[in-house]
Amino acid sequence: MKLPPLLILLLFFLKANAQNFEDITRYKVNYALATHDTEKLIAIRSFVNEGKKYLLLVNPETLNTKVDVAANYSLSNLALGNVQAIFRQSAYVKALEVALQNGSPLQNAGIDHAIPQEKGIALTIDLCPSHKPLDRIIFQSLINAFKNIQQPVPLAISVSGKWMLKHVDELNWLKSLVVQKELDITWVNHSYNHEVNKLPLTENFLLAKNTDLNVEVLENEKLMLKNGLSPSVFFRFPGLVSDQQIVAKIAAYGLIPIGSDAWLAKGQQPNAGSIVLIHGNGNEEIGVQDFIKLLKAKQVDVKNKQWLLFD
Ligand SMILES: [Zn+2]
């Protein structure tokens, strides 16, 4: 369905108006069991915006998140350990445990493949800090390839704070594709500064000295909320670089690190259930070209719904 531009603008304005948190204070990690009628959610953050208290809530079965007014829920505060005990059988706690079990590799820790097996792939696009324009062709190719097959097209975008600050128009363009139901975007925290230096990996990216995780995790979430993005429960390490200690710290923020078993620009081939990684920040032409080739190669499968994208 094509919407007239004015309507799109209006929808965009309404949505943006309802969801941009411009004046966040007291933003903190805050675990609570949040119940509303039969709905049982886990609050992982609380904050105040223009005098009203809000929560960032996780559905422990679907892993979907939403931001809602705290007063809508009856709350009992918990420690993370209690959350893990109460929701031991949930997809959320199981995913956190799998990620922790795979926390030791220096590169690509966390979850790098779908559980259970899926027919297609999960597509993740990283927006690391960059002066170059967004590779819009990735998104346009996806929308065209999946027209009348999978609409909106699901994908995850890992966003860094420093990219958001410099690319407001492009971020708004992505958001407009969500409003038009062309894309269904899961927003993944990719750290605020996304520091990269010339040192070995053990002292690089988030493993660099003087990394302040509260800034990298929480300030980035605040900036996402300010821009009208709802942070998901996922975290992607800059450079896919981490160690067991930092994986445990990220998990303590209630976040699930996701890696990739198919970083296309590195020549890794995707298979069923792969978490594919390409960069959309204008710095990875090979990965983008490979992805468009992949879409073309899978054209028949896409049409027969044998090759889909999943969340
Ligand atoms: Zn990155």
Per-residue pLDDT of the chain (311 residues; tens, 9 = 90+): 455 555 555 444 444 444 799 999 999 999 999 999 999 999 999 999 999 999 999 999 999 999 999 999 999 999 999 999 999 999 999 999 999 999 999 999 988 887 655 677 889 999 999 999 999 999 998 898 888 888 899 999 999 999 999 999 999 999 999 999 999 999 999 999 999 999 999 999 999 999 999 999 999 999 999 999 999 999 999 999 999 999 999 999 999 999 999 898 888 888 888 899 999 999 888 888 888 888 888 777 776 666 667 65
For ligand 1, the distance from its centroid to the CA atom of residue 287, given in whole angstroms, is 14
The answer to the question of residue 309 being in a domain is: no
Tally of domains in the chain = 2
Which residues line ion ligand 1, judged by CB < 5 Å? 126, 128, 238
Clarify whether residues 145 and 290 are in a common domain.
yes
168 and 284 share one domain: yes
- The bridge status of strand 65-69 relative to strand 74-77 is unpaired
Task: Report CA(81)–ligand 1 centroid distance (Å).
Answer: 30
What pLDDT does 2 receive?
Answer: 52
Same domain, 139 and 195: yes
If DSSP codes are grouped into helix, strand and coil, which group holds residue 228? coil
Report the CATH number at residue 202: 3.20.20.370
Q: How far is the CA of 159 from the centre of ligand 1 (A)?
A: 8
Instruction: Give the distance (Å) from ligand 1 centre to CA of residue 147.
Output: 29
Pairing of strands 52-58, 65-69: antiparallel
18 part of a folded domain = no
Asked if the structure places residue 9 within a domain, the reply is no
- Contact present, 117 and 110 (Cβ < 8 Å): no
Q: How many angstroms separate the alpha carbon of residue 87 from the centre of ligand 1?
A: 31
How much distance in Å is there from the Cα of 127 to the middle of ligand 1?
A: 6
Ligand 1: centre distance to CA 76 (Å): 36
Kindly state whether residues 69 and 113 are assigned to the same domain. Answer: no
Helix (H) or strand (E) segment spanning residue 245: helix 244-252
Other beta carbons less than 10 A from residue 72's beta carbon: 13
pLDDT (0 to 100) of residue 171: 97
Which residue has tokens 């988030």?
A: 206
**How many Å apart are CA 189 and CA 160, to the nearest integer?**
7
- Both 166 and 208 in one domain: the answer is yes
Sign of the torsion angle spanned by Cα atoms 102, 105, 106, 111: negative
C-alpha 32 to ligand 1 mean position (Å): 31
**Does the predicted TM-score (pTM) go above 0.85?**
yes
Distance 295 CA to ligand 1 centre (A): 23
C-alpha 96 to ligand 1 mean position (Å): 21
Residue-range definition of the domain harbouring residue 113: 91-303
d(CA 94, CA 148): 34
Inside any domain, residue 16: no
Taking alpha carbons only, the member of 165, 162, 153 closest to residue 190 is 162
- 217 and 160 both lie in a single domain: yes
